[in-house]
Amino acid sequence: MYEPTMHRRQFLATTTLGATQLASAQNGPAPAHPNVIWFLGDQHRAQALGINGDPNVRTPNLDNLQAMGVQFTNALSGFPLCCPFRGSMLTGRYPHHCVVGHEYPLPDGQATITEPLKAAGYNTAYFGKWHLGGFHESTGRAAHFITDPKKRGGFDTWVGYENNNSQYDSWVHGGEGKDAFHYRLPGYETDALTDLLIKYVRDQAAAQRQGRGKPFFAVCSVQPPHDPPVAPPNYRARLGAGNIEFRPNVPMVKSVREQAARELSGYYGMIENLDFNFGRVIQTLRDEGLFTDTHVLFFADHGDMLGSQGQFRKMTAYEESIRIPFFIAGGQPTYEGHVTGRVPALLNSPDIAPTTLGLCGLTPPSWMEGRDYSKFRLRPQVTPMPAMPDSAYLQTVVPTGHPDSVNKPYRGIVTRDGWKYTCFEGISWMMYNLNEDPYEQVNMAYNNKFRAERQRLIGRLKQWVADTGDAFNVPAD
């Protein structure tokens, strides 16, 4: 069991690499299989980063990632809900073939990314929110639920929980039989889970220095900035509810703005704490001499509306719900020429696992349905860049029925040329020109002035349904 370390220190990277500059080789040949870390928050929308223009939040460590690596500026949560996204990220499969809704578990016998990694000699570890064990809120408190070891994704080390949503009362469990454990994390969840990851990284580094270690793949999955908006007091104190600068699509409705202001002040505090802890991980890799041998991926499972369009939470196809931060950094400069800057490819949840395997020099297995985008980070002057898809697939298969949630199944696409189209069964719902209307204030779905464009988008969506083996009644016009 990995006990938390108590020492913390803030890290502010000072690199000044330009957005299109290539990193040069400095430290000798690359390892045959580099280490990989996934660090993800929950409900962190892509817009809520300093580097992406949000004036309310300070995220120096995450902002530096674009200079140290690449930001996929069109990364999407194709099914903006915890369980389906997590099933998709671990398996490289679309949600309708894996985890179709809230509180659905990983299917029995479903392989995850750990299978090809372990076959290649990796040690694997998972810390934090899992939400793939099949817990149902109606059966009791999530903190007391113990995930079946057979439903823990095949990780060698697993210290997790299903769905606590309680930042100062977060319980984790792991092991099995006489080695099983279950305890409450000390202090604030993001801090404590980062402690566990750092302890693991230090142990792996020590083993590698002694010549008995393996390359490692580690995941740290934290609940913040998911609601409730409870941030550590020192982070929440900086930005009060009266100082929020709203997005232009938050309507001038008193109740909406009051709720949004209350929640956003805590939301931004949680993100700043997340940024601080992510910086601790980067500094640990540097301290242990592992940064140049470790690819670090930072992302989230989906966003949060937080008053935009008068709505809250996720499950809708609006930008604040589906757009996620996605960075790949580290792993440099041991490779000859890594890209830095902004990548416009439409990366979706099934693409995360195959892209990770590509970063490790491994071929994704045939059962993964997503694309490998690793070449957008690795040696593009040697290996041709992959083609960028013309669109990405959006879907809700089984709705949650929760408040502040779209209660109908839908399908949709976002296109590389800047359009979004979504529909319910047999009827159009949204159609936006995101180039002209990034805040989605003019819905063209029922305006026959744009009928030809609508028909083009409907045709492409039908092709996505067919190509992915999905079943949905897309409208004819």
Burial class of 373 by CB neighbour count within 10 A (0 to 12, 13 to 18, 19+): buried
Side chain identity, residue 328: I
Q: How confident is the model at residue 383 (pLDDT cuts 50, 70, 90)?
A: low
Is residue 104 within 8 Å of 96, Cβ to Cβ?
A: no
Q: Is 322 strand, coil or helix?
A: helix
pLDDT tens digits along 314-373: 999 999 999 999 999 988 654 455 677 899 999 999 999 999 999 999 999 999 999 999
In a 3-state reduction of DSSP, which class is residue 444?
coil
Q: Which helix (H) or strand (E) holds 466?
A: helix 451-467
Per-residue model confidence as pLDDT tens digits over 134-191: 888 878 787 889 999 999 999 999 999 999 889 999 999 999 999 999 999 999 999 9
Question: Where does 129-243 have alpha helices with state H?
Answer: 189-209, 233-236
DSSP 31-86: PSS-EEEEEEESS--TTSSGGGT-TT---HHHHTHHHHSEEETT-B-SS-SHHHHH
**Topology (CATH level 3) of domain 391-467:** Arylsulfatase, C-terminal domain (3.30.1120)
The DSSP H or E segment spanning 326 is strand 326-330
pLDDT tens figures, 176-228: 999 999 999 999 999 999 999 999 999 999 999 998 889 999 999 999 999 99
Average pLDDT over residues 44-64: 96
Q: Is the pLDDT at 26 greater than 70, yes or no?
A: no
- Mean of the per-residue pLDDT values for the chain? 90
pLDDT tens digits, residue range 401-425?
Answer: 888 889 999 999 999 999 999 999 9
Domain boundaries, the chain: 35-376, 391-467
How confident is the model at residue 17, as a pLDDT?
A: 25
What 3-state DSSP class applies to 177?
Answer: helix
- Give the pLDDT mean for 67-76: 94
Name the residue with higher pLDDT: 228 or 10.
228
For residue 45, which phi and psi values (nearest 5 degrees)? -75, 150
Tell me the fold of 35-376: Alkaline Phosphatase, subunit A (3.40.720)
Summarize the confidence of residues 56-61 as an average pLDDT: 96
- Residue 29 is predicted with a pLDDT of 38
Band of the pLDDT at 30, cuts 50, 70, 90? very low
Report the sign of the C-alpha dihedral through residues 236, 276, 355, 149, in that order. negative
Query: How many whole angstroms separate alpha carbon 36 and alpha carbon 331?
Result: 9
pLDDT score at 176: 95
- 3-state DSSP helix/strand/coil % of the chain, to nearest 5: 30, 15, 50
- Measuring CA to CA, which residue among 161, 137, 178, 116 is closest to residue 365? 116
Q: What is the pLDDT of residues 90-124, one digit of tens each?
A: 999 999 999 999 999 999 999 999 999 999 999 99
Q: What is the pLDDT of residue 237?
A: 80
pLDDT of residue 204: 96
pLDDT at 3 over 90: no
